[in-house]
Amino acid sequence: MRINLTGPLTGQTQVPGDKSMTHRAVIFSSLAAGRSTIEGALLGEDCMRTVDIFRQLGVTFDRTGTTLTVDSPGFAQFTEPSQVLYTGNSGTTTRLLAGLLSGLPFRTVLSGDASIGRRPMKRVIDPLKEMNAHISGSHDNTRTPLIIEPAALEGIHYVMPVASAQVKSAILLAGLHAETEVTITEKTASRNHTETMLPLYGVALETGETITLPARGIERIRPCDFKVPGDISSAAFLMVAALITPHSAVTIQGVGINKTRDGIIEVIRMMGGDIKVINQTAESEPVATIEVRYTPDLKPVTLDGALIARLIDEIPVIALLMTQAGGISIIRDAEELKVKETNRIDTVVNELNKLGFNLTATADGMEIRPGRRQMKTGVDSHGDHRIGMMLAVATLITGETEIAGLDSINVSFPGFMEQFKQLGVKE
């Protein structure tokens, strides 16, 4: 598709609901017998995969606007599905449900698209097996499809080898069924929505240095009326677009600013970007209004360590922002980018270089130099929603560009283009 966004971006807007929190709200609501509601749900393709799987298990979903009403018979009445449970492009659906399904009394098979088929599953299969799950994966237990047979699960004391909220949550969801407690220790904190949300659905757990989930938590799960904050990972595209486009001033209301997710705000401040976080309120999680203005003289920065996990999904668009800084920026400790929807070190570097920017891939991240040769060539999202959206934002700098695979945007940000147009961007 030919894209040519031209700014400035001005005015107020809101972004769709948080992807991670919508998945979890769908899962917890489905487990609880009775009616739950999810206000501000993200209705993108990834979250709808989770919804469709619970439909196959016997849960009913009704949709009015962005509110989902969930009527569930409760986990004990789930019905055995007659088909493979298809997870599409969604790592969160695949990994979280691998944990949850391990404790159900019937066989299930989880399988997704070609990208999911390349993503590592050993990281969930190994701890789940330690919990006595009867789970196996193709390619010597490293990939999907995953075949899950009924099993009596036991607790585990697990030290996370990688910072991954999907793995942590898979263990906690299996742990809901376990006969003994689960404890998890993280060297680097990953997003903590499972821990913040479970208590709202009736399941108390201890957090801190170690997470402790008591045995058979699933017995306590109950319905909840949950409100999903706006997704900071979607807001990131608007923030960067405003920062790099002259005369822009954008206000984004209702954005979730959970401490495990707000790394992009810190980076924008480190770079000297004009950003304000105002009107903070506590809903299910902290929410705020974010104001961003065009900033011409951004400073180069180095990102590494624990900060990386707090902005891992924003790195493609942060890399674009760094091309506009007045020196060399470096991203380190970000090997996890290699196992996202695409190898995001390669796709970010290669696609931005095709547009004339100057990035170099490193073993665990990238180096980004300022400046740009004028180049006019097509680019490709490689089916990765965050690469597609980052490239669309890049056209604010590059002008008209052919971007292949832009429909991948629907995975996490349906209405992306409309949102830009609403802020005055011309296409």
In order of 1, 6, 305, the CA distances from 308 in angstroms are 32, 30, 6
Count of other CB atoms within 10 angstroms of residue 22: 30
Q: Which of 70, 62, 61 is nearest to 28 (CA)?
A: 70
DSSP classification of residue 236: H
**Smaller CB separation from ligand S3P, 9 or 236:** 236
Q: Does 89 bind ligand S3P (CB under 6 A)?
A: no
Q: Does 347 bind ligand S3P (CB under 6 A)?
A: no
Shortest Å, Cβ 340 to ligand S3P: 6
Question: In the annotation, is 313 catalytic?
Answer: yes
> Is residue 166 part of an annotated ligand binding site?
yes
Please give the distance of CA 112 from its chain centroid, rounded to a whole number. 17
**Smaller CB separation from ligand S3P, 33 or 189:** 189
> Is residue 95 part of an annotated ligand binding site?
no
Shortest Å, Cβ 165 to ligand S3P: 3
Length of the chain in terms of residues written: 427
> Is residue 386 part of an annotated ligand binding site?
yes
Region near ligand S3P per CB under 6 A, out of 59-67, 98-106, 165-173, 364-372: 165-173
Distance, CA of 204 to CA of 220 (rounded, Å): 9
List the helix and strand counts (H, then E) for the chain: 14, 22
Distance, CA of 281 to CA of 266 (rounded, Å): 19
Q: Does 20 bind ligand S3P (CB under 6 A)?
A: yes
Q: Does 169 bind ligand S3P (CB under 6 A)?
A: yes
Q: Does 166 bind ligand S3P (CB under 6 A)?
A: yes
Is residue 74 within 8 A of residue 32, CB to CB? The reply is yes
| Integer-rounded Cα radius of gyration of the chain | 21
> Is residue 191 part of an annotated ligand binding site?
no
# residues contacting ligand S3P (CB under 6 A): 11
Q: Does 92 bind ligand S3P (CB under 6 A)?
A: yes
Distance, CA of 345 to CA of 347 (rounded, Å): 6
Region near ligand S3P per CB under 6 A, out of 6-14, 137-145, 162-170, 209-217: 162-170
The string over 260-289, giving b where at least 16 C-beta atoms fall within 10 Å of a residue's C-beta and e elsewhere, is: bbbbbbebbeebebbbeeeeeeeebbbbbb
Q: Does 190 bind ligand S3P (CB under 6 A)?
A: yes
Is residue 224 within 8 A of residue 36, CB to CB? The reply is yes
The pair of three-digit structure tokens given for residue 26, joined into one six-digit string: 């769908």
Instruction: Give the one residue of 177, 191, 227, 293 binding ligand S3P; rule: CB under 6 A.
Output: 191
Shortest Å, Cβ 168 to ligand S3P: 7
State which of positions 299-328 bind ligand S3P (CB under 6 A): 312-313
Shortest Å, Cβ 166 to ligand S3P: 3
Instruction: Give the one residue of 48, 59, 124, 165 binding ligand S3P; rule: CB under 6 A.
Output: 165
Contact characters 228-247, ligand S3P, x per CB under 6 A: --------------------
Q: Does 164 bind ligand S3P (CB under 6 A)?
A: yes
Distance, CA of 323 to CA of 144 (rounded, Å): 36
Distance, CA of 92 to CA of 69 (rounded, Å): 21
Q: Max alpha carbon distance in the chain (Å)?
A: 62
Catalytic-labelled residue, pool 18, 262, 313, 380: 313
Active site residues: 313
Annotated binding site for 3-phosphoshikimate: 19-20, 24, 164, 166, 313, 340
Instruction: List the binding residues for phosphoenolpyruvate.
Output: 19, 91, 119, 166, 344, 386
- Residues of this chain that interact with ligand S3P (CB under 6 A) are 20, 23, 92, 164-166, 169, 190-191, 312-313
